[in-house]
Amino acid sequence: MPPGILRNSLSIGKVTLGFPARLLIRTKEGQRTVPSSKLDKGEPLTHTALHGCFGCGQHNRTGLRLRFYVDDTGQILSTVRLAGRFEGPPGHAHGGIVATLLDEAMSKTNRAQNIVAMTRHMEVDYLRPVPLRTTLQLTARHLSVEGRKHHCAAELRNAAGELLATGKALFIAIDPARFQASKPSMRAMKS
Ligand SMILES: CCCCC/C=C\C/C=C\C/C=C\C/C=C\CCCC(=O)SCCNC(=O)CCNC(=O)[C@H](O)C(C)(C)COP(=O)(O)OP(=O)(O)OC[C@H]1O[C@@H](n2cnc3c(N)ncnc32)[C@H](O)[C@@H]1OP(=O)(O)O
């Protein structure tokens, strides 16, 4: 069975609304399940300076406000429920939003290692239309690193565990101090 959501889903409170009871995850030793309640105890993987981020900024009212967790193998996990305003095909997510989900999850594989990196190249396979207003499972893994180049992959599944979209990306590590110094908009965000 691929990593993803087990069928007996359950809502368990505000933060983990829509989380299934257990998640199937990939570990170094193989696959195992973890209680989803464990996942809301992890450090939120957000850049505090990026509270306006469309993907994970909790202050961005029009954004996705994604919350990410990391398991003990470094795999990134999130559950997502897309609102109607993200529609592309009727009843389904716009492809740009799907790409954003995958990109954001992959970026958190770097963040989990305290690496600040930007997406340089990304590819998406849109395997099935992604339904709105239903629980989706987003996972990402860090594949390899070579100097500043970080290769990552992500998957988006529906509540039944079916694979809807996959992404691969090349991230380039940057110096956040230099980035901030060179970007007036970043200075404005901090104030
Ligand atoms: C913890 C404190 C936090 C503080 C925060 C402060 C700042 C945070 C700033 C950013 C936060 C980052 C992420 C969070 C944001 C959003 C999350 C989602 C991710 C995104 O949404 S992020 C937005 C979209 N993203 C961009 O807006 C990038 C625009 N872009 C650039 O800003 C430059 O492009 C940059 C900096 C990426 C690289 O520029 P550069 O000049 O430093 O690097 P260069 O071009 O030399 O490439 C280096 C090596 O990659 C090889 N290479 C290049 N392309 C390749 C390819 N396609 N295939 C194979 N290899 C390739 C080269 O060949 C070379 O290889 P080699 O070193 O071996 O020669």
- What's the mean pLDDT in 104-131? 96
Q: How far is the CA of 44 from the centre of ligand 1 (A)?
A: 23
Q: How far is the CA of 9 from the centre of ligand 1 (A)?
A: 38
What pLDDT is attached to residue 73? 87
Question: What is the predicted pLDDT for the residue at 181?
Answer: 85
- Ligand 1 atom closest to 172 (CA): 37
Ligand 1 pocket: which residues have CB below 6 Å? 47, 49-50, 53, 55, 103-104, 107, 116, 118-121, 147-149, 170, 172, 174, 176, 179-180
**The 22-27 sheet, strands edge to edge:** 4-5, 22-27, 30-35
What is the Cα–Cα distance from 39 to 56, expressed in whole angstroms? 17
- Give the model's pLDDT for residue 122: 98
What is the pairing mode between strands 117-126 and 163-173?
antiparallel
Confidence check on the interface: ipTM exceeds 0.90, yes or no: yes
Q: Please name every residue paired with 93 in a beta bridge, in sequence order, or none if there are none.
A: 87
DSSP secondary structure of the chain:
--SEE-S-B---SSTTTT-BSEEEEEETTEEEEEEHHHHTTSPP---GGGTT-TTT-TT-TTS-----EE-TTS-EEEEEE--GGGBSSTTBB-HHHHHHHHHHHHHHHHHTTT--EEEEEEEEEE-S--BSSSEEEEEEEEEEEETTEEEEEEEEE-TT--EEEEEEEEEEE--HHHHHHH-HHHHHHH-
Average pLDDT of every residue of the chain:
79
**Residue of 47, 172, 182, 186 best suited for mutating to test ligand 1, as the one with most atoms within 8 Å of CB:** 172
Nearest CA to ligand 1 atom 33: 120
Whole-model pTM?
A: 0.81
Task: Give nearest CA residue, ligand 1 atom 56.
Answer: 121
The confidence band for 6, taking pLDDT boundaries of 50, 70 and 90, is very low
Of residues 12 and 81, the one with the higher pLDDT is 81
Q: Between these two residues, 168 and 74, which has the higher pLDDT value?
A: 168
* Distance (Å, whole) CA 176 – CA 182: 10
Q: Which CATH number fits domain 4-190: 3.40.50.10140, 3.30.300.20, 3.10.129.10, 3.40.50.300?
A: 3.10.129.10
pLDDT in tens, 60-95: 999 999 999 998 888 999 999 999 999 999 999 999
